[in-house]
Amino acid sequence: MTPDEDHHLASDLARQTGELLLELRNRVLDQDDSERRAYDGYDYWGGGVTGSLRWEGDQAAHEFLMKELSRLRPDDAVLSEEGRDDRSRLNADRVWIVDPLDGSNDYPNPNSSEWAVHVALVVDGEPVAGAVSVPGQNQVYSTLMSPTTRPTARDKPLILSGRSAVRAARIVAAEIGADVATCGSAGVKAMAVVSGVADLYVHGGWMYEWDSCAPEVVARAAGLDVSNLAGERIEYNKSYPEIAGFMVSRPEFTEAAIEALGS
Ligand SMILES: [Mg+2]
């Protein structure tokens, strides 16, 4: 298998899964107009159709990815947020780490684009190919892209953080004179740095490998720095797949950010 084919496969699978999720959401919401009308506020957390749509989205996306990966890469292992981890991946050289739907809470809301599909390939603990699709923005970011080094047009740097665990982002912001904004989905935040909408993504808490793996490999391909909050490289396909802290940054901010977090 050539690496080039893996880059294309990751990109195709992330795009196709995103399309499937958009179709599913539109189909369900079209059947229930009252549910669609309820989304006039950002913080709508309804049950009913909305609650089941979150679950259905997770399941449909997971099943599609598992089916396609077992068909197209039958010898590879898979670690999915929605799958049962039988640990067979620990003996595999090639492991796909996928989050079929990152940001499931935002997914049922037709006014939110803060959800993503993560597909990454790890070889011997190292992410080597991957893609993040952001279907609500009609974008697929992948390791097929070449590095972008456009200078930022902002007067002040912008740091993105999750809605919880904002403290680390505020520490970095104080050091480099940045603004902090929050939004959902690790993939969406990391890709906002890739696209130049933001300058850093700082996550102070724990997360799982499927939250960060595809965003990491895509951000690296785009020329960005990626590490934990101590500035160390993250190891993937660990027996317990958690990571403590995650940062994606434009290279000019990395050193100051890690120094601020360490002090
Ligand atoms: Mg998920």
- Consecutive H or E run containing 248: strand 242-249
Looking up tokens 């809605």 gives: 163
Residue 43: its pLDDT value, please?
41
Give the residues across from 236 on adjacent strands. none
Determine the distance separating the centroid of ligand 1 and the alpha carbon of 45, expressed in angstroms.
17
Per DSSP, 89 falls in state G
Mean pLDDT score of the chain: 91
Give me the domains of the chain, ranges plus CATH numbers: 3-142 (3.30.540.10), 158-262 (3.40.190.80)
Give 110 or 174, the one with higher predicted confidence. Answer: 174
**223 alpha carbon – ligand 1 mean position (Å):** 26
Average pLDDT on 58-84 reads 97
pLDDT tens-digit map of 202-217? 999 999 999 999 999 9
pLDDT digits (tens, 9 = 90+) for 8-25: 999 999 999 999 999 999
pLDDT bucket at 52, cuts 50 / 70 / 90: confident
Query: Taking residues 238-242, what's their average pLDDT?
Result: 97
What tokens does 131 get? 């893609």
For 86-138, write each residue's pLDDT tens digit. Answer: 899 999 999 999 999 999 989 998 889 999 999 999 999 999 999 999 999 99
Look at residues 122, 103, 139, 146 and name the one whose alpha carbon lies nearest to residue 214: 122
Task: Report residue 171's pLDDT band, with 50, 70 and 90 as the boundaries.
Answer: very high
**pLDDT, tens digit, 9 for 90 and up, residues 146-155:** 777 667 778 8
**What local confidence, expressed as pLDDT, does residue 86 receive?**
87
**From ligand 1's centre to the CA of 100, what distance in Å?**
6
226 has pLDDT over 50: yes
* Residue predicted with more confidence, 41 or 187: 187
Q: What is the pLDDT of residue 149?
A: 64
CB atoms within 10 A of CB 111: 12
CB 257 within 8 A of CB 159: no
CA–centroid distance, residue 43 to ligand 1 (Å)? 19
Residue 30 belongs to what H/E stretch? helix 3-31
Question: What is the whole-number distance in angstroms between the Cα of residue 176 and the centre of ligand 1?
Answer: 32
Calculate how far, in angstroms, residue 103's C-alpha sits from the geometric centre of ligand 1. 6
